[in-house]
């Protein structure tokens, strides 16, 4: 039996006690009441010890909960830092990619301009060569025409216009 049951037994004993006529008092068996009080007295240290153990357990459980909460928070902070650093790495990579893309575009534009300049220079040289060739062909044709005309007209006469 525990303290609560003993106290209930004591209360029941008093409730069932015979009342003294013409008074609010009652008659109880002194030995029975004293025995119950002694039993309650003996149980109290045990109950208090049990209560102390429960309080200690409660404190330990609360401390364990706090310790676990602190660990979870620490892990969350580490994860936050890891994710933040990964995000920063991503941002750096994106910036480097954009810089490389811009550099490549500029290099392509420079190479395209150089190629256009090279082709233009070669076409200009080809144009000059063609012009010289065309001039030489015209002179050759003029000579052929001139010698053919001299042969037909006798050499010293001017050509009709």
Q: What is the pLDDT of residues 129-159, one digit of tens each?
A: 999 999 999 999 999 988 877 766 665 555 5
* Predicted TM-score (pTM) above 0.75: no
Asked if residue 119 is part of any domain, the answer here is no
Question: Structurally, how many domains does the chain consist of?
Answer: 1
Q: Which domain holds residue 72?
A: 3-112
In a domain, 120, yes or no: no
Measured distance CA(55)–CA(63) in Å, rounded: 12
pLDDT at 146: 85
Tokens of 158: 């001017």
Stretch 34-50: mean pLDDT, rounded?
77
pLDDT, tens digit, for every residue of 72-111?
Answer: 999 999 998 888 888 888 888 899 999 999 999 999 999 9
Assigned domain for 13 exists:
yes
Token pair of 73, please? 């928070």
For residue 147, being part of any structural domain is answered with no
Is residue 74 in some structural domain?
Answer: yes
């Amino acid at each position: 039996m525990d303290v609560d049951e003993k106290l209930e037994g004591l209360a029941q004993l008093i409730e069932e006690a015979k009342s003294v006529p013409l008074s609010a008092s009652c008659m109880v068996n002194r030995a029975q009441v004293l025995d119950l009080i002694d039993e309650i007295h003996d149980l109290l240290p045990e109950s208090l010890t049990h209560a102390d153990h429960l309080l200690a357990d409660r404190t330990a459980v609360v401390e364990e909960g706090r310790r676990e909460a602190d660990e979870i928070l620490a892990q969350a902070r580490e994860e936050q830092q890891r994710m933040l650093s990964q995000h920063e790495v991503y941002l750096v990579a994106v910036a480097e990619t954009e810089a490389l893309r811009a550099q490549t575009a500029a290099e392509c534009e420079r190479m395209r301009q150089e190629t256009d300049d090279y082709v233009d220079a070669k076409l200009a040289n080809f144009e000059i060569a063609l012009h010289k060739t065309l001039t030489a062909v015209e002179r050759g044709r003029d000579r052929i025409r001139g010698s053919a005309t001299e042969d037909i007209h006798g050499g010293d006469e001017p050509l009709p216009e």
